[in-house]
Structure 1
């Protein structure tokens, strides 16, 4: 069911005789193909056979396509009538002459036909221009007076496409009369109930002309309800800084306090739990919807409460609207959340749910000893100036656990350097390190350092997952000329084997590298340098940092160049290697600063890895990516179902609330057979079926990004302009709009995840790219894992290293989310044949971050994938069947094994070749060896086996290749034998004393 089908359907069948003229609006129940004829038609009746009939239609259209094609169809034959002449046509009305070829009966006049062009999932609707199809002889007959066709009704393709009643426009003369009758006023207020969201910003609904300017609003509400209503503001002159004020609502000696009321458009709580104050300015002649919210207390006594809401603006006196609210007797225990058509979920936009930075499993509380802060598997030691002097990790090289001997991430203390015009270094003297906060989840500190010319104020904090944020305020104490302000990161060479970011694909770090800012086309402001068990991600920002749009929308809202680091593109990053040090020099270049001038050289760190590998979770957790019968899925060996969108229980993208009852029934059945169910739901775009779409639009660009509009016809006809059209599903006509980035929509998202976990029983979410930051990710993880729910989160990303995505690495872009993920699906548009092992390691596998992954894009490369413990996504394309690999895992008994990759010295089985790599899964005097070839041609290799480490007798052991469908044929190899391997392929070999397993 789409938006308000039941309630809306009542209005669709209502005659406009009550609200307008004798025009009836109906739903066509998808009787015709909208993609060929358009979404709207006028149904007329011709009384008798004539050569020419005239339809005079008062259609009151919000669109501006008055030059669009007019198609007339004979209802009896369903054939197009060529003899049509279009007379005077404007947005208010139109005259259409046609030849009623079948005589008396009904005819259809389609007035917004279009053609669909572009990609099926990113289409554009182009409205057909008017053509002349009439016979010249017939056209001669079109003159003078002709019999009038009776207008029966205006029909939309379906309820979703209807313009009635909030998009049926008032005529210019009606608006003019309204303004004249209210001369002297600065603006008019049209109160509107929550069932009729205000949708237009350029036209008054005809509904308001009929209602008039009454100055009062009547409504009813239940105790405990999340209540909302609207104030439609129509300025007769420009309004600046519109404000809304509420009085108490009273019923005799009972009160609903004014403090319970708020205006969503002017006040609220941000995604970061900070207060939001929004300046609302409205240009003369435009329309602004102000959504007013109130959580009515559950103990509110029934009765009729009266009060006033006042609207004002700068230099404009308050205008009152009388509120008469009837409070009913029945208490709503869920706040009305189960009836979202009443906009009861708008309160979610101001939620602070799960904001407290409590520690999330598997992480442990932070512990500070002097200036050393310990966290899971890592330690950060600070200097008196507030910058790190040591960063250490304690993960084993195999990433299977912890060790007492630390690995140094940085080779020397981090230095913040200010260099004068003559090359002299400012001698900054610290006043000491002060700790400002210390909780289990966060430890914060400050420090000030000064020289004769400069002052550096540091405010920083570390969180339990290894995220470190620095605000570095640099202030000139005198007028100064500077050669450079920079941050030197002296990485230890052993912790900087790999690199990704800064216009480099993931792989082995180059010995030297130079990079310059280019935010217009590059989504790049930092990088990750690391090894499997130690690394550091950094990002350079200033105080005006705004998260850009990601994926193929980056160019429409790119990064802002940091005024500090970027310095009018003088800044950059230079990487050089000297001995055991890899110096990452983040410089900003020459500049002058006036006395008292300040710049913010902010940056963030992520200390990697986040936790050890959970290989057993990888082996026992088997995903199935399709909505199917749960019994069928169970027989295929899967343990978790990922329900994507565009199906019966999750039809609309990133809005999984409409078919929640069907979803719950499915999940309940899945749980009964031992399956878990996760759903596709992320923040990047949102379906046009969202109940709150138009309230969100009333917030300007807070929720939806500005853009050129276009896209599928529904968006053009109802959203209008100034948006970015996103994913579209042709089968169900689901058209999405791009979110703008960080906003209160993330509060809604967290509340929605909480509701779906508690009320529907979801076991986690499948993320398809992410447009929110780590704060929201932590909140989501908290609500998904509450009350011992599993809260499994896996993230899919297409390869974003391309022009439209700003040449960013998916792993680098989303690394801040990695601490809360259970699995990666990085691989769409990745090339598994041409990319080298270092690319697999850094951009696909997740291993250097404590994660494991799976493969996408044509099933990946099965042989190379297993070197990293990866299979493919099942079922997706031809051959994407992971069951043969799962079968080998189970026959060998891979759960409980120890994964020893080619990247570790402790791997007991090696090939002796750099282009044919082996990973060992060791268990109970047996080992499953995965071999993957990157050789340029068919070749062979010999296994170099550490028999002692395996506890095996080579004279009694067998090297067995079990049969694996679409992977390998059965074979047995002798110890020391050359083993052939085809190009781009490999083997799964079991070595044991038991013979065939």
Structure 2
């Protein structure tokens, strides 16, 4: 009775539409509905992810089948068909196609026996190697035998109708993950026309439960037409749940502009309410990764479907009951439509807002998270102290700003980096006195704004200094008249005693040349000049993407600095001063035109080196088998990096599915006093991500666009508008990822909340980053999350010089928040000079240490910088095993020793050749000496050891080489002996 009363209140056209849908359901489906199911036992993967079960009534030379398979994937007529007798395993020889399209399949096959046949219509070639999927669908089957066609008169339409009929009893997916049912089962054109004709609106709004994400963007699912339009949504929620649901907008008759939702409070009969402010539409509003609110305009093209994901924040304090209210759908030029919302809230309180169960989609609220967005310094940094109006005190640093806002002086501990102030020069312009307009400071950030004027420009400068020694500048020029500026230059004068090494702007890690000129190519957007005592990294900003240079994301040259190819970089080294110059060349301004030159500076080293951690925290990094054996733990393993594509962390950058397995592994390793870090980054996203369809509804904000293709699952479900990325065959399936959209997106917020969840719920001890696309601001938030949730958590970063063109240059701004570097993939260690090792591999000039990778590294040269490979990583045919060197470390007690490298100003050990380098580790009256050769041939060298400085008695000391497997033979030397050196090799010597 209640339903009849509610129908009577509907608009007459709405009522007519519902009646039509009911009639259509009653009349239209009994003839052609197909059952959808999942195979009890998955069949061979190469036969494809889908099949039809065909029942043949009797033995025949040919049988005909005609059924609606309602497919959404492209080009079904181009795929190979395979029909197999389920009992005998025989493959049918002849398949005669009559009509194949997305709606239906009509064909003849034979000869057959009575029984069940499996019809596989999407076979492909599997790829058993991880990387990038290399194959695809199989070519169409061979044409049927001409004699068979003739004998069965298949070219005669009348005779076709006389053939025995095979019946499709079920359409099956190989696994549940492969299934099209119910949201990818399409309607026919006729069904869609009848459905649309029943509505007088230009668009149709249909609500959908979170359990059934809207997937198709150009088709309606059969489910919607069968169920009809209710104009309401009913859901069951719990107290403390972040509840989500969907509203699908189908632009049935014209393009719909600026679709948006207006929320009202939901009220309960018990007097309680869920306020309108508790609702969010993720498609129309959000918070970016830097805490800024934004709105998006949602337009729906004619014939397209747009999913609107709605989140409802149900508080723990709400009373159980049934809450109801309306959501109003608004669009430009369209009549408002209302959706009635009815939420039954139980008395049960759900944990973690529902985040522990991904299917609830409660974690969509993570997209708008501001976790870690504050000014509080991370360890070991301290709040900025204001020593006077222009002098700022930071952890280990002091920066003095002049009246232009530029650094007057930069002191790192006791080393002054600059020889004179950093300056910018505007050729031909006389700049009046600068004035400080405003200054703001809070804990870890100081912001100053300056103004000045020249003859033809107003100049506005904003400088932001942060606790980690990072300074960002935005220099805005506003033209007062039409004018030509011959050049805008940034000049950085370094002390030549500091400017020993450099990298970037076309140069690998090297000694600073007397002169170098570079244009914006590669692209190059940053450089570093300095030594292990002090330095300055400079990034020229202004392109649309500010993250590191990756194979997937390539920053354009900053337009203001590049100036259509006229800009560039030069460096000149003289005896006292080394000047790095960024020039832009001539450009013309029109009156009122504005141009911003943005740059960021980072003072190095960013922190003091923790050599104890380097020699103590030894990594177990074994890709697919992350669990070490007991003897390997005894040999010194302390930290385990769990890569992806294994049973604990199978899905790339989405460690939220096998959480039970991962939690068990973490607990087991913790019981053995080991830390566990996991692979979890942003660049690509697994197709197993629960929220993938919600993310897709955000247009290309989070998932990148592309031509599609790749692994068949992607082609069958996403169909188009995506870019396939990393592929991993798993023990029980595949992981086929998609490229994330370049640049900033709310997925960063989700990623950070995900990190917090993993630390709190899985117990991980940090992250292993394998190339990332975000910038330092996100890493700073990560560091805060780890330090607050679990002090002592670690972050290490891996990169590949093959496409990063010098990862140390690209990732310098990350260094304040990292614990270790692993810049080693594609590094040719035997070909790299010492300065390249020091600057780009070791991390030492920046306050870090690292590990080697490619082909097992070079153990002799690695020890010069305190590095070994990671055990037991397999790379380029080499299994890395540094355990024999670790034993020497432990026997000597290297973790508590003082490391003095050849790069230090005062070292107690030198050698008599420049191409032989030595580093000494000193501890309690004894030393461990590392010597390595960069000489092109075998040579002998004399060690010059200052025994007095070491506190050793010449008459009592001995110098000997312990036996180290695959490293050196046992040998004793006199202090006066010449040490034989083989190219690319060296020694580890005890001096005691």
TM range (shorter): over 0.9
| Whole-angstrom distance in 2 between the partners of 1:19 and 1:905 | 88
1:339–1:155 distance in 2 versus 1, CA, 3 Å: same
Q: Secondary structure at the match of 2:298?
A: coil
Q: Does 1:49 align with 2:59?
A: yes
Cα displacement (A) at 1:550? 4.0
- Give distance in 2, aligned partners of 1:142 and 1:511: 87
* 1:870 Cα offset (Å): 0.3
The superposition leaves residues 60-108 of structure 1 with CA deviations (integer Å, 9 ceiling, x where unpaired) of 000122221111112123232221111111100011211144x111111
Distance in 1 (CA, whole Å) between partners of 2:69 and 2:789 is: 55
- Contact 2:32 2:67 survives alignment (8 Å): no
Aligned residue for 1:429, secondary structure, equals coil
Shift of 1:634: 2.2
1:246 aligns with 2:242: no
C-alpha separation in 1, matches of 2:123 and 2:861:
51
Q: Residue 189 of structure 1: CA displacement?
A: 0.7
Distance 1:482 1:45 in 2: 81
- The alignment partner of 1:294 has SS state of strand
Contact 1:20 1:207 survives alignment (8 Å): no
**Structure 1, unpaired ranges of 5+:** 1-15, 395-405, 993-997
Alpha-carbon distance between aligned partners in 2 of 1:30 and 1:767, rounded to the nearest angstrom? 37
CA distance in 2, matches of 1:139, 1:673: 70
Match of 1:796 in 2: 798
SS at match of 2:239: coil
1:823 aligns with 2:820: yes
Contact 1:124 1:710 in 2 (8 A): no
Alpha-carbon contact 1:681-1:766 (below 8 Å) kept = yes
Q: Report the Cα offset of residue 116 of structure 1.
A: 5.2
Contact 1:46 1:100 in 2 (8 A): no
Structure 1 residue 381 corresponds to structure 2 residue 400: yes
Match of 2:990 in 1: 990
1:107 aligns with 2:117: yes
Deviation readout 1:795-845 (Å, 9 max, x if unpaired)? 111114xxxx3x632111111111111111110111011111111111110
Please, what TM-score do these two structures have when normalized by structure 2? Answer: 0.93
The count of aligned residue pairs is 946
Q: 1:91 to 1:454 in 2, by over 3 A?
A: same
Which of 236, 239, 247 aligns to 1:223? It is 239
Once residues 124 and 485 of structure 1 are traced to their aligned partners in structure 2, the CA distance between those partners, rounded to angstroms, is 49
| SS of corresponding position for 2:52 | strand
SS of 1:928's partner is: strand
Aligned to 1:873: 870
Going from structure 1 to structure 2, the CA distance change for 1:274 and 1:637 (only over 3 Å counts) comes to same
Q: Which residue of 2 aligns with 1:149?
A: 166
1: CA distance, partners of 2:472 / 2:707: 35
Show the 5 A alignment for 1:637-648: 637-648=636-647
Matched with 1:719 is: 718
1:541 deviates by 1.9
Aligned-partner Cα distance in 2 for 1:841–1:287: 55
Does the 8 Å contact 1:610/1:850 carry over to 2?
yes
After alignment, is 132-141 or 826-835 more displaced? 132-141
Matches within 5 A, 1:666-685: 666-685=665-684
| In the alignment, structure 1 residue 576 sits paired with structure 2 residue 587 | no
Residues 1:24 and 1:550: Cα distance change in structure 2 (over 3 Å): farther
Residue pair 1:679, 1:766 contacting (<8 A) in 2 also: yes
RMSD: 1.9
Asked whether 1:527 is paired with 2:527, we answer yes
Aligned equivalent of 2:20: none
Structure 1 residues 885, 30: closer, same or farther in 2, change over 3 A?
farther
Whole-angstrom distance in 1 between the partners of 2:706 and 2:398: 45
Once residues 266 and 448 of structure 1 are traced to their aligned partners in structure 2, the CA distance between those partners, rounded to angstroms, is 38
Which position in structure 1 is the counterpart of 2:971? 971
Q: Aligned-pair distance for 1:325?
A: 1.4
Q: 2:618–2:870: 8 Å Cα contact kept in structure 1?
A: no
User: Does residue 786 of structure 2 align to residue 776 of structure 1?
Assistant: no
Q: How does 1:881-896 map to 2 (within 5 A)?
A: 881-896=881-896
Quote the Cα distance in structure 2 between the aligned partners of 1:359 and 1:654.
28
Residues 227-376 of structure 1 correspond to what in structure 2 (within 5 A)? 227-235=243-251, 236-252=253-269, 253-370=271-388, 371-376=390-395
Task: Judge which range, 558-567 or 185-194, deviates more.
Answer: 558-567
Pick one of 94, 102, 105 that aligns with 1:83: 94
Which stretch shows the higher mean deviation, 972-981 or 108-117? Answer: 108-117
Instruction: Return the alpha-carbon distance in structure 2 between the equivalents of residues 73 and 787 of structure 1.
Output: 56
Alpha-carbon contact 2:426-2:489 (below 8 Å) kept: yes
Please state if 1:189 is matched with 2:213.
no
Indicate conservation of the 8 Å contact 1:20/1:210, yes or no.
Answer: no
Q: CA separation in 1, counterparts of 2:306 and 2:991?
A: 72
Q: Is the deviation greater in 783-792 or in 301-310?
A: 783-792
Q: TM-score, normalised by structure 1?
A: 0.92
Q: 1:8 is matched with which residue?
A: none
Partner of 1:393: 412
- 1 CA distance for matches of 2:320 and 2:777? 41
Distance in 1 of aligned mates of 2:375 and 2:129: 43
Structure 1 CA distance for aligned equivalents of residues 30 and 460 of structure 2: 64
**Structure 1 residues 45 and 874 mapped into 2: Cα distance closer, same or farther (>3 Å)?**
same
**CA–CA distance in structure 1, aligned partners of residues 242 and 629 of structure 2:** 36
The separation in 2 between residues aligned to 1:863 and 1:151, in whole angstroms, is 68
Q: How does 1:7-18 map to 2 (within 5 A)?
A: none
Task: Note if contact 1:929-1:988 (Cα within 8 Å) is conserved in structure 2.
Answer: yes
Alignment of 1:566 onto 2:571: no
SS in 2 for 1:968: coil
Work out the CA distance in 1 between the residues paired with 2:724 and 2:638.
Answer: 36
- Equivalent-residue separation in structure 1 for 2:458 and 2:452 (angstroms): 6
Report Cα offsets for 1:548-580 as digits up to 9, x if no partner: 5742213xxx32443321222221112222332
Partner residue in 2 for 1:158: 175
Among 747, 750, 770, the alignment partner of 1:748 is 750
Residue 901 of structure 1: CA displacement? 0.3
Q: Does 1:494 align with 2:497?
A: yes
Alignment of 1:406-555 (within 5 A): 406-419=414-427, 424=428, 426-518=429-521, 522-542=522-542, 545-547=544-546, 550-554=549-553
Aligned to 1:602: 598
> Contact between 1:961 and 1:970, CA under 8 Å: does it hold in 2?
yes
The answer as to whether partners of 1:608 and 1:848 remain within 8 angstroms in 2 is yes
Partner of residue 734, structure 2: 733
Task: Specify whether residues 119 and 509 from structure 1 end up closer, same or farther in structure 2 by C-alpha distance, changes over 3 A only.
Answer: farther
2-structure distance, mates of 1:572, 1:646: 43
Q: Secondary structure at the match of 1:647?
A: coil
Distance 1:698 1:761, change over 3 A: same
Superposed displacement of residue 20, structure 1: 10
Q: Give the direction of change, closer, same or farther, for the CA distance of 1:316–1:494 in structure 2 (3 Å limit).
A: farther
Q: Answer yes or no: is 1:785 the counterpart of 2:803.
A: no
Offset from partner CA, 1:962-994 (integer Å, 9 cap, x none): 1111111111111111111211111000111xx
In the aligned structure 2, how far is the partner of 1:129 from the partner of 1:198?
A: 31
Q: Quick one: distance in 2 between partners of 1:330 and 1:934?
A: 69
CA distance in 1, matches of 2:923, 2:596: 53
CA displacement 1:612-635 (0-9 Å, x = unmatched): 110000111111113115645423
CA deviation map 1:267-303 (0-9, x unaligned):
0111101102112121111111110111111111122
Task: Report the Cα offset of residue 436 of structure 1.
Answer: 2.5
Structure 2 partner of 1:128: 138
Tell me the CA shift for residue 600 of structure 1.
0.3
